[in-house]
Amino acid sequence: MSTNAFPYKRVFVAGHNGMVGAAVCRLLASSPNVETLTRSRNELDLTDEYAAAAFFREEKPDAVIFAAAKVGGIVANNSYPVEFLSDNAKMAIASIQAAYESKVKRFLFLGSTCIYPRMAPQPIQEDSLLTSALELTNEAYALAKIVGLKLCQYYRQQYGAMFHSAMPTNLYGPGDNYHPDHSHVLPALLRRFHEAKTSDLPSVTIWGTGTPRREFLHVDDLAKAIVHLMRIDNPPDWVNVGTSIDVSILELAQMVAKTVGYEGRILTDPTKPDGTPRKLTDTTLLKGTGWRPTIELEDGLKTTYGDFLARQSAGVLRAV
Ligand SMILES: NC(=O)c1ccc[n+]([C@@H]2O[C@H](COP(=O)([O-])OP(=O)(O)OC[C@H]3O[C@@H](n4cnc5c(N)ncnc54)[C@H](OP(=O)(O)O)[C@@H]3O)[C@@H](O)[C@H]2O)c1
């Protein structure tokens, strides 16, 4: 998709150093009319409402893509629910308010499909939001994200501001986090199979039975969906972004092994818990607006592994 006609000039990409923010910046870089504004957390802590307000007053962005968040895995979410709720809610409220006061024309807020109830019918539709209890392991994070998306909806409803949200499924791609304990399943497998290959290990054991099914979207496809949504006159208040295609964890492990060239055995460990059997998003609403993902998982894995190797040899692999 060309971004030449992107209708906003000064675009603040909050969280530009993160996996999503960086993908958005890469895409916007191909649009000659766009001037991307960025600030690292050290330069601008968005949980500080006074700093956020001053930034918006001074820089006057036309549009905001809000990809800043305090993100973490189950262990971090469980250990620090106070920070996951308060930091994420504070930065969302401060930025949305400041954007409205400085007359930002468009604000796209990023959440995730963890906002949906634990027992939401599969595939998960947008209208299952707030129909029953959340998954406890990421409740604090999900609550903060629900605050952000609802605040955007309320500003639009009450003041006519064009503020709306996107809820991506599991993402992968350049700049992912490869921490041995804290990373998501796809980068964790990529790293483990790479290390098994380089250490000549005869087998790799994956957690659980390998039967749970999960969906993965390349972050560059998400960036295109964001740009697409920001060009639409009347976007949904919040919309799922995914492929609506899932694979079992064992199938994923086999694809990763093939990608990195690992030829040993893949074993499962059924004594470990599996988690939800299936988590899939319904993307009918987004597809109805004309967007389609373009990167097949097999191709996305190859380029992501290339990025992993390049960063590893440059000593800048992210593992936090
Ligand atoms: N990764 C996924 O699989 C996934 C899936 C679904 C949805 N999402 C959503 O996509 C969004 C971005 O995720 P991501 O994976 O790109 O996360 P990420 O790589 O951890 O990036 C988050 C960014 O937020 C910035 N940030 C954190 N706290 C901040 C603060 N107090 N003030 C200013 N900036 C702050 C960080 O800035 P510094 O680098 O300067 O510290 C970082 O660049 C999140 O809303 C997340 O829920 C991600």
The rounded distance, in Å, linking the Cα atoms of 226 and 241 is: 9
pLDDT over threshold 90, residue 73? no
The rounded distance, in Å, linking the Cα atoms of 115 and 140 is: 10
> Beta strands 106-110 and 10-14: pairing type?
unpaired
300 vs 184, residue with greater confidence: 300
pLDDT given at position 39? 98
Contacts of 97 (CB under 8 A, 6+ apart): 49, 53
3-state class of 134 per DSSP?
coil
Q: Which residues are catalytic?
A: 141
Name the residue of 112, 147, 177 to mutate for ligand 1: max ligand atoms within 8 A of Cβ: 112
pLDDT given at position 117? 96
Q: Among candidates 33, 102, 93, which has minimal Cα distance to 66?
A: 93
AA identity, residue 74: I
Q: In the numeric block, which tokens belong to residue 190?
A: 């990529």
Angle subtended at Cα 102 by Cα 100 and Cα 105, rounded to the nearest 5 degrees: 65
Question: Cβ–Cβ contacts within 10 Å for residue 206, how many?
Answer: 22
The rounded distance, in Å, linking the Cα atoms of 319 and 180 is: 7
Which residue, by CA, sits nearest to atom 3 of ligand 1? 171
pLDDT over threshold 70, residue 196? yes
Beta bridge partners of 215: 246
Region 104-108 average pLDDT: 98
pLDDT given at position 43? 98
pLDDT, tens only, 226-264: 999 999 999 999 999 999 999 999 999 999 999 999 999
pLDDT, tens only, 33-63: 999 999 999 999 999 999 999 999 999 999 9
Which residues line the pocket of ligand 1, CB cutoff 6 A?
A: 15, 17-21, 40-41, 45-47, 67-71, 87, 91, 110, 112, 168, 170-171, 184
pLDDT over threshold 70, residue 197? yes
Q: In the numeric block, which tokens belong to residue 294?
A: 């373009």
Distance of CA 234 from the midpoint of ligand 1 (Å): 26
Nearest ligand 1 atom to the CA of 172 is 3
pLDDT given at position 1? 46
Distance of CA 271 from the midpoint of ligand 1 (Å): 33
Element of type H or E holding 106? strand 106-110
pLDDT given at position 2? 47
Q: Which domains does the chain have, with CATH numbers?
A: 10-176+216-244+279-295 (3.40.50.720)
Measured in degrees and rounded to the nearest 5, phi and psi for residue 148 equal -60, -50
Strands (E) in 210-291, as ranges, are 213-218, 238-241, 246-248, 265-269, 278-279
3-state class of 64 per DSSP?
strand
Contacts of 313 (CB under 8 A, 6+ apart): none
Helices 81-101 and 49-59: angle between axes, nearest 10 degrees: 30
Model's pTM, two decimal places?
0.97
Mean of all residue pLDDT scores within the chain: 95
Distance of CA 33 from the midpoint of ligand 1 (Å): 26
pLDDT, tens only, 78-89: 899 999 999 999
